[in-house]
């Protein structure tokens, strides 16, 4: 059983013929993630506008501050360009494509690099020592860690009597169907980890199981808190910088932000007395 | 001093600035973008009553600072942590002369920390010696994402940086504040990646490394490093105002910090003038981990007192009234400092 096949891909593999609409373009941008926040740029409100004319498709992006990391900015802008380019190619659509990042301290450089399809090193020249692959991998690993923690914490909530140590034995197929499992499966697939039902959930990015399960979960929790917190910080800043942009943001599941409270369903008389 | 319900709190604001971001001091568009970014932090995370008009935000001056931090605020002592940013501002962002003069005029209230940039090589080393003498430095603030000619950042474990840390050791500059915060600069990798703190903390065990903004948004990396290095501390600049906008997220940050690095290594900061200390001190004294978040133990009164001032006072040898002092917690030097700060029956707490 491959759980990945159950996951509904957000971007359709092929889009039926004309006319090309803004919705098609936004649809493919749904798969572009902010690497650090692990959320689609469309949900975050980072897509300012999508314009489709007879001659061209023009996409504008914006970020919460003008000093957001240029490497992350470049990743999101170039991923956006790649996705829309692929969409046009699938449709055999000859329209020109313009992707621009606005209001960033590196906007001129990034936009020129995108227009020339210069790649990361071509865009930043001598400043770019490495490719962005390793940076992207760092955040893929973190996203995987956080996704696994959400799933295992969810299990614990369903069965508060379960011993924490046993969470190291949980398989993908043991997880209830739903958003958290799908998210985990997608992140495992991105890392090349197995996605079959027998695969162990609590593994690192190389597939290794931890010696100390409770400690591994404790660390995973701080990773998840870090990512969730960043997401709220960036969303808030975007809304401050661009009044009204909060309307472009998909509501973030409350579940994802402060789920720890739900862990407290287990009766704990000693703690009650303590308080 | 702040007093609430008969309890006295000795307050040290461990991260303040006297900046000049007015248009006449902006060197280029980046100078405007930088202060605008700060102003967005200020507007986004402050209570409405504490939001300043933009014009006032660009520059405060010494008199206003003394009022905000000491008269209206409750600080007993505050420490300047200036960012230089000479590529963005004509006379720099942090105002060295004005701030150090203010500190010299109020030695009981203010400590002036300066900065250095290892990319200045030998010349910068000489300057550091001169600055240490001129300002009587006990600490420095390092901003690894500083632009410098063609370079847009440096790392603490660069060979030249090691020569500067060796100089700090000789000069008695023992507190090294490092900005690791919301990602604003780096190009490759991530200049605010906290891994370089790990290297220098291991190689300079006689220096204290205070990671400002507790590594946010790299909280977990910071916590993990801090558990392994006894000389790594967490500064709460920029984390503090979440107490108002995201109190439950703030509770999680505090819960994690108390678990991983313990009550003796967390330092309160307003990051003035991004925020004013008054409301942050009031809110922190009143703050408690929400009772339904029982995976974290409640924050005790003693822990609050340490975080709000006693921990920084210890690093800077400040003369805290005898009656207000507290002993260090009996915590291990490495590893999670206070596992009992988490409920042992809950996930991952053991």
Q: What is the pLDDT of residue A101?
A: 97
Contact A105 B152 (CB under 8 A): no
CB contact under 8 A, B189 and A68: no
B contact test, residue of A38, A66, A123, A148 with most B CBs within 10 A: A66
CA distance A223 to B219: 7
Q: Do A216 and B348 touch (CB under 8 A)?
A: yes
**Alpha helices in B187-336, H assignment, sequence order:** 195-203, 219-228, 242-245, 247-260, 277-286, 301-305, 311-315
Chain A residue numbers touching B184 (CB-CB < 8 A)? 65, 67-69
CB–CB contacts below 8 A, A to B? 159
Residue A49, beta-bridge partner list: A60
List C-alpha distances in Å: B142 to B110, B114, B179, B271.
Answer: 19, 9, 6, 15
Q: Which of B87, B188, B289, B299 to mutate to test the interface with A (most CBs of A within 10 A)?
A: B188
Distance to chain B for A114, nearest Cα, Å: 17
B348 Cβ under 8 Å from any chain A Cβ? yes
Task: Say whether pLDDT at A121 is over 90.
Answer: no
- What is the per-residue pLDDT for A251? 80
**Residue with the larger pLDDT of the pair A132 and B253:** B253
The CA distance from B312 to the nearest CA of chain A, in Å, is 25
Sheet holding B139-142, edge to edge: B139-142, B175-179, B208-212, B232-235, B266-267
Interface test with B, best of A263, A265, A269, A273 (most B CBs within 10 A): A263
**Scanning every residue of chain A, which has its alpha carbon at the shortest distance from the alpha carbon of B292?**
A261
Phi-psi region of A129 (alpha: psi -120 to 50; beta: other; left: phi over 0): alpha
Which tokens in the block code for residue A23? 């919705």
ipTM over cut 0.95: no
The whole-number pLDDT of residue B190 equals: 53
Is residue A264 very low, low, confident or very high in pLDDT (cuts 50, 70, 90)? very low
Residue A232: pLDDT band with limits 50, 70, 90: confident
How far does A179 lie from chain B, in Å, by closest CA?
Answer: 21
Question: Which of A216, A220, A241 faces B40 most closely, judged by CB atoms?
Answer: A241
Phi, psi of B167 (to 5 degrees): -65, -40
Burial B241-278 (b: 16+ CB within 10 A, else e): bbbbebbebbbbbbbbbbbbbbbbbbbbbbbbbbbbbb
pLDDT of residue A265: 31
Cα-based distances in Å from B129 to A200, B82, B114, B154, B315: 57, 18, 12, 21, 21
- Which pLDDT tens digits describe chain B residue by residue (350 residues)? 999 999 999 999 999 999 999 999 999 998 999 999 999 999 999 999 999 999 999 999 999 999 999 999 999 999 999 999 999 999 999 999 999 999 999 999 999 999 999 999 999 999 999 999 999 999 999 988 888 887 778 889 999 999 999 999 999 999 999 987 544 444 444 555 788 899 999 999 999 999 988 877 788 888 888 888 899 999 998 899 999 988 988 998 999 999 889 999 999 999 999 999 999 999 999 999 988 776 688 999 999 999 999 999 999 999 999 999 998 887 777 777 766 655 444 433 33
Residue A14's pLDDT band (boundaries 50, 70, 90)? low
What digits encode the pLDDT tens for the residues A167-189?
A: 999 999 999 999 899 999 999 99
Band the pLDDT of A267: cuts 50, 70, 90: very low
Smallest CA–CA separation between A222 and chain B, in Å? 5
CA-nearest of A120, A142, A127 to A72 is A120
Q: Which of A64, A164, A240 sits opposite B350 (nearest CB)?
A: A164
| Mean local confidence (pLDDT), A240-255 | 81
Q: A67-119: per-residue pLDDT in tens?
A: 888 888 999 999 999 999 999 999 999 999 999 999 998 999 999 999 999 98
Residues A205-223: tens digit of each pLDDT: 999 999 999 889 988 988 9
For residue B48, the cross-strand partners are: none
pLDDT on residue B228 = 87
Query: CA-CA distance, A77 to B266, in Å (whole number)?
Result: 38
Place of tokens 């090309």: A20
| Model confidence band, residue A129 (pLDDT cutoffs 50, 70, 90) | low
- Mean pLDDT taken over chain A: 84
Mutate to test the interface with B, among A110, A220, A258 (most CBs of B within 10 A): A258
Please tell me the predicted confidence (pLDDT) of residue B181.
54
Restricting to B residues 266-295, those with a Cβ less than 8 Å away from any Cβ of A are 290-295
Query: Shortest Cα distance from A218 to chain B (angstroms)?
Result: 4
Pick from A216, A223, A237: CB nearest B40: A237
pLDDT at A4 over 90: no
B188 to A127: CB separation less than 8 angstroms, yes or no:
yes
What pLDDT does residue A17 have?
59
Q: What is the pLDDT of residue A271?
A: 35
User: Nearest CA to CA, how far is A255 from chain B (Å)?
Assistant: 13
> What is the pLDDT, as a whole number, of residue A8?
44
CB nearest A65 (choices: B29, B184, B223):
B184
Burial of B323 (0-12, 13-18, 19+ CB in 10 A): exposed
pLDDT at B182: 46
pLDDT at A130 over 90: no
Query: B122 in contact with A at a CB cutoff of 8 Å?
Result: no
B341 neighbors B296 (Cβ within 8 angstroms): yes
């Amino acid at each position: 059983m491959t759980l990945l096949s159950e996951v509904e891909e957000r971007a359709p593999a092929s889009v039926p013929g004309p006319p090309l609409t803004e919705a098609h373009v936004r649809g493919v941008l749904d798969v572009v993630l902010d690497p650090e926040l692990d959320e689609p740029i469309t949900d975050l409100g980072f897509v300012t506008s999508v314009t489709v004319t007879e001659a061209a498709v023009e996409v504008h992006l914006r970020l919460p501050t003008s000093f957001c990391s240029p490497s992350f900015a470049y990743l999101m802008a170039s991923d956006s360009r790649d996705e829309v380019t692929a969409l046009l190619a699938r449709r055999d659509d000859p329209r020109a494509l313009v992707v621009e990042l606005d209001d960033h301290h590196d906007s001129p450089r990034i936009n020129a690099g995108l227009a020339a399809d210069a790649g990361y090193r071509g865009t930043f020249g001598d400043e770019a020592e490495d490719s962005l692959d390793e940076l992207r991998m760092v955040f893929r690993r973190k996203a995987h860690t956080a996704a696994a923690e959400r799933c295992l914490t969810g299990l614990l909530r369903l069965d508060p009597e379960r011993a924490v140590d046993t969470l190291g034995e949980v398989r993908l197929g043991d997880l209830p169907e739903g958003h958290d499992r799908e998210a985990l499966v997608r992140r495992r697939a991105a890392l090349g980890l197995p996605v079959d039902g027998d695969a162990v959930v609590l593994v690192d990015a190389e597939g290794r199981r931890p010696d100390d399960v409770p400690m591994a979960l404790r660390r995973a929790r701080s990773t998840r808190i870090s990512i969730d917190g960043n997401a709220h910080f960036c969303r808030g800043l975007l809304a401050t910088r661009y009044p009204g942009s909060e309307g472009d943001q998909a509501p973030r599941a409350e579940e994802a932000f402060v789920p720890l409270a739900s862990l407290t369903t287990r009766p704990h008389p000693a703690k009650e007395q303590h308080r | 001093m702040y007093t609430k319900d008969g309890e006295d709190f000795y307050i040290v604001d461990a991260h303040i600035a006297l900046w000049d971001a007015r248009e006449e001091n902006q060197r280029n568009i980046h100078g405007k973008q930088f202060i605008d970014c700060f102003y967005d932090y200020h507007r986004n995370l402050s209570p409405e009553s504490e939001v300043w008009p933009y014009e006032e935000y660009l520059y405060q001056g010494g008199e206003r600072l003394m009022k905000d931090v000491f008269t209206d605020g409750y600080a007993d002592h505050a420490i300047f942590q200036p960012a230089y940013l000479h590529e963005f501002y004509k006379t720099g962002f942090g105002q060295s002369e004005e701030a150090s003069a203010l500190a010299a005029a109020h030695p009981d209230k203010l400590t002036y920390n300066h900065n250095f940039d290892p990319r200045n090589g030998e010349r910068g080393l000489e300057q550091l010696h001169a600055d240490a003498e001129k300002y009587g430095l006990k600490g420095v603030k390092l901003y690894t994402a500083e632009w410098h000619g063609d370079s847009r950042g440096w790392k603490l474990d660069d060979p030249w940086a090691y020569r500067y840390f060796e100089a700090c050791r000789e000069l008695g500059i023992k507190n090294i504040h490092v900005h690791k915060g919301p990602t604003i600069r780096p190009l490759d990798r991530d200049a605010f990646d906290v891994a370089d703190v790990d290297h220098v903390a291991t190689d300079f065990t006689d220096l204290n490394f205070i990671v400002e903004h507790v590594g946010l948004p790299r909280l977990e990396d910071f916590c993990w490093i801090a558990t392994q290095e006894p000389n790594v501390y967490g500064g709460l600049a920029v984390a503090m105002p979440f107490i108002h906008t995201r109190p439950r997220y703030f509770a999680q940050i505090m819960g994690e910090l108390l678990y991983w690095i313990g009550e003796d290594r967390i330092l309160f900061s307003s990051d003035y003038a991004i925020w004013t200390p008054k409301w942050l001190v009031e809110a922190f004294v009143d703050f408690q981990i929400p009772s339904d978040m029982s995976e974290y133990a409640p924050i005790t009164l003693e822990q609050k007192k340490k975080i709000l001032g006693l921990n920084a006072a210890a690093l800077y040898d400040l003369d805290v009234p005898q009656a207000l002092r507290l002993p260090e917690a009996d915590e291990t030097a490495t590893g999670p400092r206070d596992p009992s700060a988490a409920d042992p029956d809950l996930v991952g707490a053991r």
